[in-house]
A and B are shown apart, each in its own frame.
Chain A
Amino acid sequence: MPNNENSKDYILEALNLSKSFGGVKALDNVDIFIKRNEIVCLLGDNGAGKSTFIKVIAGVFKPDKGQIFINGKKVFFNGPKESQRAGIETIYQDLALFNQQDITSNLFIGREIKRFGFILNKNKMTSLAKETLEKTGISIKSINQLFGELSGGQKHAVAIGRAVFLSGEPQIILMDEPTAGLGVRESNELLNIIKELKKSTAISVMLITHNLDHAFKVADRFVILRGGKKVAEKNIKETNQSEIVEKMIGVI
Chain B
Amino acid sequence: MTNKKSNYNSVLNNVLKKIYEIIKKNIIFIALVLLIVLFGLTSPVFFTLSNSINLIIQTAVVSITACGMTISIIGGSIDLSIGSIYALAGMITALTIRATGNWVVGVIAGLCFGIFAGAINAFLSTKAKMPSFLATLATMWIFRGIAMTITETRDVLIPYKMYWHAFGDGYLFGKIPSQLIWVIVIALISSFLLKSTVLGKSIFAVGENIRAARFCGISTVKVKFYVLMICGFCAALSGIIISSQMHAARPLSGSGMELYAIAASILGGTSLHGGRGTISGAIWGSFIIAVLNNGLLLLGFNVYVQMIITGLIVIVAVVLNFWRKGMVEA
Q: Min CB distance, B176 to chain A, in Å?
A: 29
1/0 per residue, CB under 8 A from B, across A74-90: the answer is 00000111001000001
Q: Beyond A92-B212, A114-B198: 4 further Cβ-contacts under 8 Å?
A: A101-B201, A112-B201, A120-B197, A120-B201
Would you call B216 an interface residue if the criterion is a C-beta within 8 Å of the partner chain's C-beta atoms? Answer: yes
B275-A60 in contact (CB<8A): no
Q: Which residue of chain B has the shortest Cβ distance to A101 in the bound complex?
A: B204
Q: Choose one: B197, B200, B205, B214; the contact of A98 (CB below 8 Å).
A: B205
Q: Are A98's CB and B218's CB within 8 A? A: no
Chain A residues with CB below 8 A from B214, complex form: 60, 79-80
Q: Say yes or no: is B154 at the interface (Cβ < 8 Å to chain A).
A: no
Residue of B nearest to A109 (CB): B216
Once the chains bind, are B275 and A109 in contact (CB under 8 Å)?
A: no
B155 CB-CB contact with A under 8 Å: no
Q: Which residue of A lies closest to B274 (CB)?
A: A100
In the complex, 29 of the A-B residue pairs with CB atoms within 8 angstroms, ordered by the A residue number, are: A58-B215, A79-B214, A90-B215, A94-B212, A96-B209, A97-B216, A98-B204, A98-B205, A98-B209, A99-B208, A101-B201, A101-B204, A101-B205, A101-B208, A105-B201, A109-B213, A109-B218, A110-B205, A110-B213, A110-B218, A111-B216, A111-B217, A112-B198, A114-B198, A118-B199, A119-B196, A119-B197, A119-B198, A120-B198
Residues of A within 8 A of B161 (CB): none
With both chains docked as a complex, state the minimum distance between the C-beta of A14 and any C-beta of chain B, in angstroms. 19
The 6 closest A-B pairs by CB, nearest first: A110-B216, A81-B217, A96-B212, A110-B217, A96-B215, A109-B216
| Cβ contacts under 8 Å, A122 to chain B | 196
Interface band, chain A: 20 to 34
A109–B205 Cα gap in the complex (Å)?
Answer: 8
The interface size of chain B toward A, counting residues with CB under 8 Å, comes to 21
A14-47 contact mask (Cβ, 8 Å, vs B): 1 or 0:
0000000000000000000000000000000000
Q: Which residues of A contact B198 (CB under 8 A)?
A: 112, 114, 118-120
A60/B215 in contact, CB under 8 A: yes
Q: Secondary structure of the B side of the interface?
A: helix
Hey, what's the 0/1 contact readout for B177-221 against A, CB within 8 Å counting as 1?
Answer: 000000000000000000011111110110011011111111000
Binding site for B on A (CB under 8 A): 58, 60, 79-81, 84, 90, 92, 94-101, 105, 109-112, 114, 118-120, 122
Bound together, the chains give a CA A119 to CA B209 distance in angstroms of 22
Q: Write out the residue numbers on chain A whose beta carbons fall within 8 Å of the beta carbon of B208.
A: 98-101
B199 close to A98 (CB less than 8 A):
no
Instruction: Please measure, in the bound complex, the distance between the C-alpha atom of A58 and the C-alpha atom of B214, giving whole angstroms.
Output: 12
Quick check: A96 and B216 within 8 Å, CB to CB?
yes
Residue of A nearest to B275 (CB): A100
Q: Complex Cα distance A98/B74, Å?
A: 13
B81-127: which residues lie under 8 A (CB-CB) from chain A? none
A176: min CB distance to chain B, Å: 11
Residues of B within 8 A of A80 (CB): 214-217
Known A98-B204, A100-B208: A118·B218 in contact at CB below 8 Å:
no
Question: What distance in Å separates the Cβ of A166 from its nearest Cβ neighbour in chain B?
Answer: 12
Residues facing A in B24-51 (CB within 8 A) are none
